[in-house]
Amino acid sequence: MSRLDHTHDPALISWVESANRHCDFPIQNLPLGAFSAEGQARRIGVAIGDFILDLTAIGDLLDEDWREDLSLPVLNAWLARGPADHTALRHRLSELLSDQRYRDDVEAALIGQSEATTYLPCIVGDYTDFYVGIYHATNVGRQFRPDQPLLPNYKYVPIGYHGRASSVRVSGEPVIRPAGQRKPPDAEVPEYGPSRRLDYELELGLWIGRGNRLGEPIPIGEATDHIAGYCLLNDWSARDLQAWEYQPLGPFLAKNFLTSVSPWVVTADALIPFRVSAMKRPKGDPEPLPYLRDDDPAPGLGLTIEALISTEQMRAGGLPPHRLSHGDAAAAMYWSAAQIVAHHSSNGCNLQPGDLIGTGTLSVDNDDGLGSLLEISRGGKQPITLLSGETRSFLEDGDELILTARAKAEGAVPIGFGDCRGVVVGVS
C-alpha cells in the first residue's frame, strides 16, 4: 500500500483558486471520473475545485505510455494498471495543478462542473453487494428474528450477494418506483403493484483496479492493492417486495431496479491520510479465519457519511434538506474493505477492473446514524417528522435522497466524495 507523500501536504495549494479550501475537491483529492461538456464526446477527467480537468486535452503533458488508456471514455483500462501507475499519475497531476509554470498550458483544459455531464466512471462488468454493517444487520434482523437478530455465520463470513450490474447508474438518475409482488401480513395471497415501502441504503462502493485470474484468490495482504478507489453507493430497496421474495435465495427484484453511485473515483492514494483502525470486535467474538486475518494496523476509512432528504414541499418552500443519518463509516463496518475483496476471491472468483463492490448499509450504534428508513422508522411503526412538518416512514414520490461523505484527520486537508442523489418518480 502507498504511503503519505508530498501530494498530501496540507500546505499544498493549487493555482485553481476554487480548489483551495474546497469542501470536496482540493488538490489533495484529485478523483477521476467520466464526463462530457457541450458538443464534446465523453472523456476522462479529474475533479479540482469547481472544475474538471480534461485529461484528453492535456495528453501531451502526461507520460506517453498513459495516453491511450486515459483517452478512453471509461476508466477500466486505466484502473487495470495498478497502484504504481495510479500514484505516478497523481504526482504528475498534483505538479501540473500546483506549479504556476504549467498554468497557461493547463487552464484551457478546465471545464466548470456545472457545465458538464458526468457518467459512470467504468463499464461495470459485475456488481456485488455485501452486508458488513453489523448494526444494520442487527437492527434489521431484530425486526424479523427478535431472539436471534444475527445468524450464526455473520461473524465468520462476510455476507454478500450478486446484484444487477446493468442497473447501476450515476448520481442523478431518476428513481422510478419499482413494481413487484408484495404480501401484506394480513393477506392470504400476494398482489402485484408499485412498492409502498421504498427505501434507501447508505453505503460505500469499492472500484476494483487490478483483477485476479480465475482460480487464483487474492491474499488478504494484497487485497488493498486491488482496490483502485471508492465512491458513495445507494442500493435502493423495495422493502415490501423484499420481505416476500428474499427467502430462500435472498434479494432479487427488491434490489435490482436501480443502484446509484457518485460519479468520482476517490483514489486509494487520496485516502491514505484517513486510514484508521478497524472496528474493535466485542469480547467473545470469533477471530477471523486465517485467510481473512489482516495485519494492516489501519484497514478502515475515517469517513463521516450522511443521508439527507428533500421533499417536493421542502424544495417549494425553500427549506434545506433534512438530515436523516450522520455517522462514522469505520465504526459501522464489521468487515474491512480488504476482507471483502479477499473473501470475494477466496473461492477463485475472478474480479475484473471496473467491478463494483458495495459495503452494505452502514449504520452506527445510535439513532443518529441509522443508514436506512427501515431502521429509522422501526419498520414503518415510528414515522419521522421532517423540517416541513411532513412525516415519512418510507420514500414518497418527489422525494430526493442525497448521500455525502467527507474524510477528516488531524494534520490533513479534508476531502469529499461529491454527492450521490436521486429523485423518486411515481408510476402511472
CA 172 to chain centroid: 14
Q: Is 326 labeled as catalytic in the residue annotation?
A: no
CA-to-CA distance for 393 and 385, rounded, in angstroms?
9
Distance (Å, rounded) from C-alpha 164 to C-alpha 358?
A: 12
Comparing CA positions, the residue from 264, 277, 300, 209 lying closest to residue 404 is 264
Name 401's bridge partners: 309, 422
Q: Which residues contact 414 (CB under 8 A, 6 or more apart)?
A: 23, 26, 406, 407, 408
Of 87, 131, 135, which is closest to residue 357 (Cα–Cα)?
131
Q: Give dist(CA 234, CA 395) in Å, integer.
A: 14
Cα–Cα distance for residue pair 271/256, rounded to 1 Å: 30
Residue of 8, 136, 322, 343 with catalytic role: 136
* Residue 205 in grid coordinates: 462502493
Query: In b/e form, how buried is each residue of 143-171, taking b as 16+ CB within 10 angstroms?
Result: eeeeeebeeeebbeebbbbebbbebbbbb
Residues belonging to the active site: 136
